[in-house]
Amino acid sequence: MKEKEREHVLQEHEKDVRRGIFPLMPFLGGMTTLYVLASILLIGLIIFVFDKVSFVFTPLRVFFSTVVLPIILATILYYLLRPILRLLEKAHIKRGWGILIIFVGGIGLITLFVFLIFPFLKAQFTNLVEEFPTYFTKLTQDIDYFLSHSSIFASYYNDMNVNVSKFFDGSFANIGKTVGNTLGSVASGVSNFIGALTGIVLSIATVPFILFYLLKDGEKLPAVLVKMLPPRMRPDVKMILQDADRQISAYIQGQIIVAFCIGVMVSIGFFIIGMNYALLLGVIAMFTSVVPYLGAAIAITPAAIIALVSSPWMLVKLIVVWTVVQLIDGKFISPQVMGKSLKIHPITIIFVLLTSGSLFGVAGVILGIPGYAVLKVLVTHLFDLYKLRYNRYQPDALMHYDLTERMGDNDLKE
């Protein structure tokens, strides 16, 4: 029966080819597509109904909210440490011993950081937090003086009767009372905070165990996933997984290296010009540089306030240092380290960061770009499959897509 149906479909397709008609329904999948859409609708209805029953999906939400953080951290560390593990294997060191060497080296670096660098950074951070209100107050008062005496808008500004000194005197005079009232309300939520903090600490504590098994068996995982799928889907899924792995690896490794280089250059530049809190500001620049484009604006803000309050000449030197760092990064470091592997337009990156940040907060800002890269790989591959299917059903060869750009030889033969 199936052979007769297949022959009938082929005969109809040949008739459409001879008549030059594009067979829309067979191209869309015919009745199979209707069955798939009906199944998706039924699954969505089931999820909608069960979502109204709290005990059905609440355990799943708790489970995913618990495992997401350690899995993300372990995955980032996996992509950072995998090249080192491969180098150790090329040096004829077994994978198990290589993982042990990486863990011992990581523990040593963390110990050195905690005992040598962290106390100095902590002292600088404490001083900056204590002095930053003074910096901000002086900056605001300088701006107020400029607007009221030296600017072309002085007459309009004075008519507004803005009293900056009174504002700060009143604000800082009542700050103790405000803090006392706030502490009373915060005390009631201490238990919840401790519970959340305990969950985060436990989640982070599981990262080394997840990382160990990722380093040990992570490269086998795609093959296991592919074998679980029907044979007809395996080549396409394997290609998608390989492209996604390449994109994520290039982004994470490249972004961390670029951020580290920016942090070092900013610290050295600030030390040269005599900027206060040079090392701390360099560390801030390193961490914020993980976020493309927007991170630079975040990092320069506290440095600009400190420089402007110190002296106008310090602000000029700060601008020079920051310009040199951005030029070195844009012309030499990022093109060599990142290359153009993601092939994402800067405007697209900004839109992705704004959207993902609005939806998921800080996690969305950090993970928005790699998530978009994976989604782009999936959509691009699906579009390639669409073009292949379209050419199969399009009788006019002049209306075919050009498949030589992304399709491989195996795909073209098929």
- Residues 151-164: what's their mean pLDDT? 59
List the structure tokens of 112. Answer: 């050195």
Other CB atoms closer than 10 Å to residue 286's CB: what's the count?
22
Q: Give the integer Cα–Cα distance in Å for 15 and 21.
A: 9
Burial of 303 (0-12, 13-18, 19+ CB in 10 A): buried
187-224 tens-digit pLDDT:
444 445 455 556 666 777 888 888 898 898 888 888 88
153-162 residues labelled b (16+ CB within 10 A) or e (exposed): eeeebeeeee
Per the model's pLDDT, the better-predicted residue between 404 and 34 turns out to be 34
9-29 tens-digit pLDDT:
556 556 655 555 566 667 777
Residue type, 185: S
Q: Give the integer Cα–Cα distance in Å for 28 and 5.
A: 17
Cβ distance 144 to 163 under 8 Å?
no
Per the model's pLDDT, the better-predicted residue between 113 and 187 turns out to be 113
Other CB atoms closer than 10 Å to residue 331's CB: what's the count?
10
Domains of the chain by residue range: 1-47, 229-414
Closest of 23, 395, 21, 390 to residue 9, by C-alpha: 23
In this predicted structure, what is the pLDDT of residue 104? 92
55-92 tens-digit pLDDT:
777 777 777 777 888 888 888 889 989 989 999 988 88
Place of tokens 């380290």: 337
Cβ distance 306 to 135 under 8 Å?
yes
358-393 tens-digit pLDDT:
888 777 877 888 888 888 888 888 888 888 877 777
Q: Give the integer Cα–Cα distance in Å for 20 and 399.
A: 11
Query: Rounded to 5 degrees, what are φ and ψ at 174?
Result: -95, 5
Q: Give the integer Cα–Cα distance in Å for 259 and 276.
A: 21
Q: How far apart are the first and last CA of the chain?
A: 26
CA distance to 16, 25, 390, per residue, from 12 (Å): 6, 12, 16
Cβ distance 358 to 364 under 8 Å?
yes
Question: Rg of the Cα trace of the chain?
Answer: 29
Residue 278 has pLDDT above 80, yes or no: yes
In this predicted structure, what is the pLDDT of residue 101? 92
Residue 107 has pLDDT above 80, yes or no: yes
- H helices then E strands: how many in the chain? 20, 0
DSSP assignment of 116-176 equals IIHHHHHHHHHHHHHHHHHHHHHHHHHHHHIIIIISTTHHHHHHTT--HHHHHHHHHHSHH
Cβ distance 294 to 350 under 8 Å?
yes
- The whole-chain average pLDDT of the chain stands at 76
| Cβ contacts of 97-100, under 8 Å, gap ≥ 24 | 99/212, 99/215, 99/216
In this predicted structure, what is the pLDDT of residue 161? 61
- Residues 247-273: what's their mean pLDDT? 87
Tell me the three-class secondary structure of 223-262, residue by residue.
Answer: HHHHHCCCCCCHHHHHHHHHHHHHHHHHHHHHHHHHHHHH
